[in-house]
Structure 1
Amino acid sequence: MITAYEITLAQAADAREIAELSRDAIERGLSWRWTERRVLRAIRSEETNVAIARRDGVLLGFGIMQYGDDEAHIVLFAVRAQQRRSGVGSALLAWLEATAAVAGMQAIRLEARIGNATAKAFYRRHGFSEYASSPGYYEDVEDAVRMVKRLAAEP
């Protein structure tokens, strides 16, 4: 499939743009915690992948995934509003999932705002299932739903 964007690992120069998209798309109504400095730490971390999708130099979306011993955790994931439903999010998620599988992860976990029906439906379409909720997870402003996707075991 030919795409109109490229998915790569983020570089230090991408940190500010990622942080701003997080603030605007994910952290609305909350404190801005994923600042440029924190995103930069994630980019530099050996236990974290920060993937970005760009077209013509414009950041379309990103995903930040941390690795544990046998599970990965998507801590942030966003696509610009005008790029949603264009395949960018699905491609980013597939990239993160493939990377987790290569790293030997058995599952990917994430949290989503309990009231974000669009995000929950997106993750369900990609094989995630809800397994718990976390009251007050988002600064006591909103609860979270916890989701997981089990990755195929190696033959």
Structure 2
Amino acid sequence: MTADPPVELAVPADAAAIAAMSRDLIETGLPWNWREGRVLRAIRQPDTNVAVVREDARIVGFGIMEYRDEHAYLSLLAIDPAHRRRGAARSLLRWLEASARVAGVERIRLEARRDNAPARVFYNEQGFHEVGITRDRYSDGIDGLVLEKWLRPRQSE
């Protein structure tokens, strides 16, 4: 059994590499929204964590999580294809979940492309459940799928 790769907070110098990974691995064929400036703002934002996994000082994976009043929103998660299936995504998600628990949020939400079967399987394996559809969410007309994971029992109303 191998140890999970270490996760750390991104620093401003990481913004360009993270933006390029977003463009190439997540936003392919879509308008590029997570450019260097936006990533840099996220790194500097007190209610956002930008976490990375490195190998030989090179970023091989990252996640961006925004913290809101009652939930956290996982904006992006990407792993370099040459480093997939080695635990980096799981490590990033566990680290971000632990941070969300410390922040006191009830649940984590995210949105994935409805046609992204590998992402849906991964998040399902990590305890996320599909809770909604956002029609025509992406500029190419693909629907978005809302997933969520409760971090603590739901409060009775």
Same fold (TM over 0.5): yes
Structure 1 residue 101: Cα displacement: 0.4
> Does the 8 Å CA contact 2:6/2:91 hold for their aligned counterparts?
no
Residue 140 (structure 1) shift: 4.4
Q: 1:57: which partner in 2? A: 57
Matches within 5 A, 1:72-83: 72-83=72-83
Structure-1 separation of matches of 2:58 and 2:2: 18
- In 2, the alpha carbon distance for the partners of 1:54 and 1:60 equals 5
The C-alpha deviation readout for 1:49-108, integer Å capped at 9, x for no partner, is 000000111111000000111100000110111111110000000000000001101000
Match of 2:102 in 1: 102
**Equivalent residue of 1:65, what SS?**
strand
Q: Do structure 1's residue 142 and structure 2's residue 142 form an aligned pair?
A: yes
Q: Does 1:120 align with 2:120?
A: yes
Runs of 5+ consecutive residues of structure 2 not aligned to the other structure: none
RMSD: 1.3
Partner-residue secondary structure (3-state), 1:138: coil
Structure 1 residue 41: Cα displacement: 0.4
1:3 is displaced (CA, Å) by 3.5
1: CA distance, partners of 2:129 / 2:5: 28
Distance 2:4 2:14 in 1: 19
The one-letter code of the counterpart of 1:37 is G
> Using the alignment, how far apart are the partners of 2:68 and 2:134 within structure 1?
20
Q: Is the 8 A contact 1:47 1:68 kept in 2?
A: yes
Instruction: Give me the TM-score of the superposition, normalised by structure 2.
Output: 0.93
C-alpha distance in 1 between matches for 2:96 and 2:4: 19
Q: CA deviation at 1:2?
A: 6.0
**Residue 42 of structure 1 aligns to which amino acid in structure 2?**
A
SS at match of 2:127: coil
Q: Which runs of 5 or more residues in structure 1 are unaligned?
A: none
Give the letter for the 1:65 counterpart.
M
Contact 1:63 1:78 in 2 (8 A): yes
The residue type paired with residue 79 of structure 1 is: I
- Larger proportion of strand: 1
